[in-house]
Structure 1
Amino acid sequence: MRYLGLLPLLSPLPALAAGGGVVGENLLWLALILMAARLFVPLARRVGFPAVLGELLLGVVLGNLSLAGVDYFATIARDPIVAFIAELGVIVLLLQIGLETRLKDLIQVGPRATLVGCVGIAAPFALGAWFVGPLLLPGMTTHTYLFLGATLAATSVGITGRVFRDLGKLDTPAARIVLGAAVIDDVLGLVILAVVSSLVTAGSVSGGEVLWIIAKAALFLAGSIGIGRLIAPHSSRWLARLDAGPSMLFAQVLATGLFLAWLAHAMGLAPIIGAFAAGLLFEPVFLKDFETPAIVREIQPLLPAHDPDLAGRLMPVLARHAGHQHEHMIEPIGYFFVPVFFVLTGMQVDLRAFADPAVVGIALGITVAAIVGKLLAGVCAGTAGRWLVGWGMVPRGEVGLIFAMAGRQLGVIGEGLFSAVVVMVILTTVVTPPMLSWLLRPSRS
């Protein structure tokens, strides 16, 4: 609390930023977000929490400074430029996760991940639409209950993926199942959202519309990964002939991620699915032509004259290490974009919603249903770690907010229920990182 006395020192900043117009103001906000996030992260780690929780809590603090009389940050959460940078952040994050994930590992857990994803959609949807909704909100329309169920069915893999990545656990069976299930979850979630929206607007929905959504998702995933992995080795070899340096490698990987994110969005899917698929395209062996020749040229003068073939024998070893550079090359851009996404997610929390006991009661009720529904999905994970997979599916994040916003725009979710859903989204988002950290402790493995 003693640091609140420093808040008046911020008073000149808005006036200075305003002098540069919208651009100047956004530059200031981004500078504050990045430095504050870097300062919060060590604090979170000192108490045993992952970095993402520090960024989320920072967002909650910044988004509610108006309660302490500081209104300078109120416009950040609604700024379209900052929102776009935050969207780029989650795209870069999923691209990083895809780069560190091997497709063959995902295929190995495919049937298990599909089962987890299906149960992870069906269980919370049923709990929300036919149990918690009628119990906590008697007298509402069936459409309201269906939209509540759809909101509970959503999953935000960005938060879970960040925790697994920060703790170095992306190569575990539990992480692979969660990532695979999240893709299934996203596709089925879009199907449910489309069906429920059609029921509200048109009163009915055709089986053809449902099949078309599923077909688009299957076509995108099969096409982007299948065709992309056929093209990637040849395009990498061709680009390496033009420039074997890191700048060309960086451009290829990032441009592919952005292109597939756009393509997924154009097909009505979540852009993060495209970014994750792009990461799966680049196996290290595809990229060996970039850095290895340059490294060999550098070390050639240092090799002993009596062993001229040493460079050739070193080539496979160098290729293995150089091929992994694409994973680390994206890291710096993630340092900039990714924290903005998590801070902005935290800023969506309006702590004033907790002042209404009715909203708090409904929020706690649907939060319990949201957690139980995903933990039931974890039961299907088998020996990979039921609790890990279950909790990994718990965060709703921006996906839950998008679903709730759609219901609000259609008039079936009122202000009170929307506030409760926002609280549920925040609670599931904030509670997951410490739970996963606790479950992933070495003493518990």
Structure 2
Amino acid sequence: MSRNQYWIIWLSLLLIGSSYALASNEMHDFTPAIYLWLALSIFMSRSLAIVKKIGLPLVTSEILAGVILGNLHYFGINTFVGMEQNEIIQFLAQIGAMILMFEIGLETQLEDIATKLGSGIKIALYGTILTFAGGYLISQYSYPTANNGTWILIGLICAATATGISGKVFKDLKILNSAEVQTVLGASLIDEVISILCFAVLSGLMITGIFSVNELVLASIKTALFFLISVGIGSRLTPQLTKLSIKIHAGISMKIGILFMLCTFYTWLASQLGLAPVIGAFIAGIIIKPKDFQNFSQAKFLRDFKQIAQKTNDEAARLQIIKTVNTYQLKSLDELIKPLSNIFVPIFFTYIGLIFKIQDLFNLRILSFAALIIGVSLCGRIISGFADAKRLNMLVIGLGMTPIGEAGLIFAITGQQLGLLSDDMLSAIIMALVMITILTPVLLKFAIKGKKLTHLHN
């Protein structure tokens, strides 16, 4: 089939979907157009992966796919009008963010993060203070008639870090095992807790209209409990859970089930304690140890290689095969999650592109405020990256903390519901979020080329 025939089929599908959309007066929670959106978002994000040839990470193609799908109505295709408000699409995007953070957690050693907590705390505090202060001042300058709650909220949005976006870039570039990335992950974890804690207090104040010290104490207790249960108790209970599961069924399906169950449970637990759900998924990943799953049945190709090793007469070859099998066995947890990641993670980034509206580019007030947010986020985080004077690529650390991402978006939407943000404020925040998400991977590529990274292990 020729390339032209592929495009004809694609356009036909769009027209069919558009006809359905025009026959409906509103976008319900469920509509068959969701299937078409999913198909095209995956197809387009894969097709636009050509950006890798010009040195851009894959995440860029996924966001661009969302931008295109979200603005097709300018070409008379109304299939996806209002799709960004569809609860099913939003849920699928949240699943993508959860799986991405869980996957990054699996590939991150808790010991490596622990060694960087000293610099992580310093970087997180510097970054939070600088970006919060900058966000507060620019919002006060741009919207002088707004109230103090609005200025504080915009400051918190600027201070919120999206580890998932930088994490995807780090994954694509295969640098998760570098000291710089481990520092970013540790600092992001601390930064997320600080921003969520502050937002919990602010939202409580706006709802009740009264400052409550009890609210601050309660939020602090919830945060402490989450880390205590997750890292302290969870790391001890997980081996017991896997031992029990092996007695029931030691197959790969049980292994995948336990992994996904732990991921979703910790995501739920984080949300119940008032933290960003994706932080729960990340914690679930870092407390899981490959050795706890080594007694499950191995994948068939690993068993086959072991049999080959037993039959070979070459001792050196036999040892090399066994070493390779053991290496892949340790990585098997990551490999089991990849099929889910390959489907849901692009949906998350496509959704970020979907909420971006082209017409906002022609509103000078929205455009200027978005530019100020981008400037504050970039400058504040880059400066904070140099807070720890060590022989690391501090520019990569600063840029890795730059994206606003899902936490900032949650803050913004909740703030609008509480009456703190106007529509044009929300549009500017979304525009800044999308532009930073596209800009950060590009800047990270240049920063990595400028100075080599420090690897913790091979």
User: How far apart in 2 are the matches of 1:106 and 1:180?
Assistant: 6
CA distance 1:332–1:442, shift in 2 (3 Å): farther
User: How far apart in 2 are the matches of 1:189 and 1:165?
Assistant: 25
Q: CA deviation at 1:123?
A: 1.3
User: How far apart in 2 are the matches of 1:302 and 1:75?
Assistant: 57
Q: CA deviation at 1:87?
A: 0.6
Task: Name the counterpart of 1:281.
Answer: 287
Q: CA deviation at 1:8?
A: 5.6
Task: Name the counterpart of 2:434.
Answer: 426
Letter in 2 for 1:351: I
CA distance 1:304–1:201, shift in 2 (3 Å): closer
User: How far apart in 1 are the matches of 2:442 and 2:270?
Assistant: 31
Task: Pick from 336, 345, 349 the counterpart of residue 356 of structure 2.
Answer: 349
Task: Name the counterpart of 1:267.
Answer: 273
Contact 1:50 1:166 in 2 (8 A): yes
Task: Name the counterpart of 1:184.
Answer: 190
Task: Name the counterpart of 2:245.
Answer: 239
Give the secondary structure class of the aligned counterpart of 2:78: coil
Contact 1:187 1:214 in 2 (8 A): no
User: How far apart in 2 are the matches of 1:158 and 1:224?
Assistant: 20
User: How far apart in 2 are the matches of 1:238 and 1:317?
Assistant: 28
Letter in 1 for 2:281: A
Task: Pick from 168, 172, 178 the counterpart of residue 162 of structure 1.
Answer: 168
1:332 equivalenced with 2:336 (yes/no) = no
Contact 2:252 2:298 in 1 (8 A): no
1:51 equivalenced with 2:54 (yes/no) = no
User: How far apart in 2 are the matches of 1:165 and 1:305?
Assistant: 36
Task: Name the counterpart of 2:254.
Answer: 248
User: How far apart in 1 are the matches of 2:394 and 2:321?
Assistant: 43
Deviations 1:400-436 (A, max 9, x none): 2221222222222222222222222122221111111
CA distance 1:247–1:204, shift in 2 (3 Å): same
Deviates most, 100-109 or 420-429 = 420-429
Task: Name the counterpart of 1:172.
Answer: 178
CA distance 1:23–1:365, shift in 2 (3 Å): closer
Letter in 2 for 1:102: Q
CA distance 1:351–1:232, shift in 2 (3 Å): same
User: How far apart in 2 are the matches of 1:200 and 1:347?
Assistant: 29
Letter in 2 for 1:276: F
Give the secondary structure class of the aligned counterpart of 1:95: helix
Deviates most, 220-229 or 52-61 = 220-229
Q: Under a length normalisation based on structure 2, what TM-score does the superposition of the two structures give?
A: 0.87
CA distance 1:443–1:270, shift in 2 (3 Å): closer
Contact 1:103 1:280 in 2 (8 A): yes
User: How far apart in 1 are the matches of 2:323 and 2:294?
Assistant: 9
Letter in 1 for 2:132: F
Query: Structure 2: which 5+ runs fail to align?
Result: 454-458
Task: Name the counterpart of 2:130.
Answer: 123
Contact 2:306 2:321 in 1 (8 A): no
Task: Name the counterpart of 2:374.
Answer: 367
Deviates most, 351-360 or 197-206 = 197-206
Letter in 2 for 1:396: I
Task: Give 1:185-264 correspondences, 5 Å limit.
Answer: 185-264=191-270
Query: Structure 1: which 5+ runs fail to align?
Result: none
User: How far apart in 2 are the matches of 1:82 and 1:428?
Assistant: 22
CA distance 1:283–1:203, shift in 2 (3 Å): same
Task: Pick from 6, 27, 37 the counterpart of residue 35 of structure 2.
Answer: 27
Contact 1:284 1:320 in 2 (8 A): no
Q: CA deviation at 1:361?
A: 1.5
Q: CA deviation at 1:292?
A: 5.1
Deviations 1:343-377 (A, max 9, x none): 01111111111211122122212221122222222
Contact 2:373 2:432 in 1 (8 A): yes
Percent of aligned positions that are identical: 30
Task: Pick from 373, 397, 403 the counterpart of residue 389 of structure 1.
Answer: 397
Q: Under a length normalisation based on structure 1, what TM-score does the superposition of the two structures give?
A: 0.90
CA distance 1:148–1:204, shift in 2 (3 Å): same
CA distance 1:303–1:192, shift in 2 (3 Å): closer
User: How far apart in 2 are the matches of 1:379 and 1:242?
Assistant: 51
CA distance 1:13–1:198, shift in 2 (3 Å): closer
CA distance 1:323–1:336, shift in 2 (3 Å): same
Deviates most, 250-259 or 186-195 = 186-195
User: How far apart in 2 are the matches of 1:293 and 1:403?
Assistant: 43
User: How far apart in 1 are the matches of 2:282 and 2:180?
Assistant: 17
Letter in 2 for 1:87: Q
What's the Cα RMSD here? 3.0
Q: CA deviation at 1:56?
A: 0.6
Q: CA deviation at 1:316?
A: 8.0
Q: CA deviation at 1:332?
A: 0.7
1:401 equivalenced with 2:406 (yes/no) = no
Task: Name the counterpart of 2:88.
Answer: 81
Q: CA deviation at 1:103?
A: 0.6
In the comparison of the two structures, how many residue pairs are matched? 439
User: How far apart in 1 are the matches of 2:350 and 2:69?
Assistant: 8
Deviates most, 287-296 or 333-342 = 287-296
Give the secondary structure class of the aligned counterpart of 1:101: coil
Give the secondary structure class of the aligned counterpart of 2:386: helix
Task: Name the counterpart of 1:105.
Answer: 112
